[in-house]
Chain A
Amino acid sequence: MPDFEKTIAARTLTAPRRSGTPRLRGRGAIIWRTFLRNKGAVTGAVVLLAWAGVALFAPRLAPYNPLDLTGISRQGVSPSHIMGTDLLGRDVFSRVLFGARISLAVGLISVATGVTAGSIVGVVAGYYGGRLDGVLMRIIDAMLALPGLLLALVVIAAVGPGLVNVMLAVGVSSIPMYARLVRGSCLSIRNVEYVQAAQAMGGSDGRIMARHIIPNILGPIVVLSTLQVGNAILVGSSLSYLGMGAQPPTPEWGLMTSDGQPYLASAWWMATFPGFAIFSAVMAINLMGDGLRAALDPRSTYRYPPVPARGLQRHDPSHPTLGKRCPRGRPMPAPRDQASFTVRSQLT
């Protein structure tokens, strides 16, 4: 469709609103409602909150000290050890609970590292453009010449194994992604009027970037960061699984899985429960991130309150969408009979 034509389809006709529901106030309310209507996203948020609670209150929740030898070696699942014991007789359940602290910290800290460094590179490249942009983007391209986990491994090779280094490695390996996202968004708004106005008023470059550009491209950064926390937990635990991260006796999920692997046939609980913990935390974050993305995306935002079946005026019983509930998390589908009209701009 040429862009001087704007087709306003029948979907813009407002549907009747259920009386009693509070009026939507502003975009924040729309985002919040869209998020709440997404069952997956809410489930994810609940599971994630539960893990955060576990991380905070691990010492109170765990029946044993995660480092104490509390039973015999490789004791099966029983009431006293609900996830069994590991090779040294430590309680797997307590270790899984304490592992939440490490994995969530790895996820959050490495994302914070990556998003900060990546955003600075991206905004500088996008704002100044020119040769500086060229140089920075070639460096980013070089970083992208190694797929994710390998880039993290290279960083570990340089700085040595360890949990703190894992956070650094995972953070560094996500820099290219943020840098590209921020640069792209920055390019699209660097010539808008309010940026020009700030420049005309004599605002310094740093101030313009921090106060005018970054806040206006925050949406996509937040969405990517949320999803990236899950990925950071995955990569972090993978590095620990490979022996490059947490060192024994740290109760880290990836390391516990790796410790349990040789005893898979005789003591399955050692490797499976920590792995499940990683899986559930990452899935919760992914569900929540997807919900957040759907809610923040202006194109897929839910805009109409649900149309109640009761008290509905159905002018046309054969109409495909009129009077139907809007499917969860999707925009209202356009009706098939084209009750649309075209506005032609005179400016061409």
Chain B
Amino acid sequence: MVAYIGQRIAVLIPVVLLVCSAIFAIMHVLPGDPVQLMLAGAEAGVTTPERIEQLRTSMGLNQPIYVQYVHFIVRALQGDLGESIRFQAPVNSLVDTAALQTFQLSLAGMFAALLIGIPLGIVAGLYENSWLDSLAMLVALLGVSMPLFWLGLLLILLVAIHLQWLPAISGVDLRGLVLPAFTLGFVSAGIISRLMRASLIEALRNDYIRTAMAKGVSRRVVAAKHALKNAWIPVITVAGLQFGGMLSGAVITETVFSRPGLGSLIVKAILWHDYPLIQGAVLVTSAAYVIVNLGIDVLYAWVDPRIRYA
């Protein structure tokens, strides 16, 4: 198991280095003076030659590009992401606060996705071709076809404005988290329910199910103990991948519900041309995504030992 984890991490090292390089390249290879672009975006155009020169020096932009590259990589590996131009504050602290919010939202979104997706998928799988099955498939289709921001707005319109059950803007209490979590989890709920259904139907066709039935075990016990246990494995993988994908959905969800978080931070940073902030936030997001996926791989190998020897 340790060897397996080590092998997986070894594969990730070049990937992370490449991501760092790509993010560095975004800022330096493209035409245009990044300093002027940044000042125009972040400080609303009040630029003096002194300010430009000062920024250029403080960001090390007057050094040769390979020196800058090595500096960037070394500092990033040490966990220093530089300083935001717009906020005049270390990127680390901005990203840390935002990441916590996004993590909370992703967890809530995953919870919502599992809460809807798993029961729906099980019911659809047990009663194949019934109306419940059709309902589950409809939810899955809606999930992949609805723009997240539209779903969020419809929920705000219906639940927050008309029915006034829940607040649209997230405050301190958890009630404000319900609508964003549901919005974020809806896509994954569809995907999870579809997979749960297929996996359960597959499991129910096995010989050991027939054996159990022949022994006189009740339908309920066969479904719960024999079929479901074997149906979980692909669902775990995909649920994990979905959890990583929540980082992507969070960009939209956080904007719709005006929540602070990594997603909305990246969007704002791009609109402000705040390059150090973009670099830092994107780097942290991709690191989180890669680590989540690694965790899923490990979990998968733990649940199904065959994977380790493949």
Q: Chain A interface (Cβ within 8 Å of chain B)?
A: 138-139, 141-142, 145-150, 153-154, 156-159, 161, 230, 234, 237-238, 241-244, 254, 257-258, 261, 264-265, 268, 271-272, 275-276, 278-279, 282-283, 286-287, 327
Contact = CB atoms under 8 A, between A and B. Distances in A.
14 contacts: A138-B15, A147-B245, A148-B245, A150-B282, A154-B22, A156-B270, A157-B278, A241-B255, A254-B149, A258-B149, A264-B156, A265-B161, A278-B147, A286-B141
A81 B245 CA distance: 39
A145 B154 CA distance: 32
B144 interface: yes
A243 B264 CA distance: 12
Contacts of B136: none
Interface of A is mostly: helix
B252 A241 contact: yes
Contact of A283 (B141, B148, B269): B141
Contacts of B64: none
A11 to B, nearest CB: 15
Interface centre among A242, A243, A254 (most CB of B within 10 A): A242
Contact of B145 (A156, A244, A279): A279
A85 B125 CA distance: 46
Interface string B12-24: 0011101100110
A238 B149 contact: yes
B26 A138 contact: no
Given A147-B247, A149-B248, A241-B149, A158 B26 contact: yes
B9 interface: no
B161 A141 contact: no
Nearest to B27: A158
Contacts of A150: 247-248, 251, 266, 282, 285-286
Contacts of B255: 241-242
Interface in B175-195: none
A328 B26 CA distance: 50
Interface of B: 11, 14-16, 18-19, 22-23, 26, 30, 129, 141-142, 144-150, 153-154, 156-157, 161, 244-245, 247-249, 251-252, 255-256, 266-267, 269-271, 278, 282, 285-286, 289-290
B251 A153 contact: yes
Interface centre among A254, A279, A327 (most CB of B within 10 A): A279
A190 to B, nearest CB: 22
Given A146-B289, A157-B270, 5 more contacts: A142-B18, A145-B290, A257-B153, A272-B150, A282-B147
A80 to B, nearest CB: 24
Contact of B252 (A139, A146, A149, A264): A149
A238 B153 contact: no
B290 to A, nearest CB: 5
Contacts of A138: 14-15, 18
B181 to A, nearest CB: 18
Contacts, number: 132
A286 B145 contact: yes
Interface centre among A150, A230, A244, A327 (most CB of B within 10 A): A150
B209 to A, nearest CB: 13
Contacts of B245: 147-148
A335 B33 CA distance: 71
A272 B252 CA distance: 16
Nearest to B249: A149
A243 B22 CA distance: 23
A145 B247 CA distance: 12
A170 to B, nearest CB: 13
A283 B153 contact: no
Nearest to A147: B248
Contacts of B286: 145-146, 150
A243 B256 CA distance: 12
A153 B267 contact: yes
Contacts of A234: 145, 147
Contacts of A157: 26, 269-270, 278, 282
Contact of B251 (A142, A149, A276): A149
B148 to A, nearest CB: 7
A276 B150 contact: yes
A145 B248 contact: no
A275 B19 contact: no
B169 to A, nearest CB: 12
Nearest to B267: A242
B26 A154 contact: yes
A293 B146 CA distance: 21
A150 B263 CA distance: 9
Contact of B144 (A257, A264, A275, A286): A286
Nearest to A244: B270
Contacts of B256: 261
A282 B141 CA distance: 10
A147 B129 CA distance: 34
A68 to B, nearest CB: 26
B141 A287 contact: yes
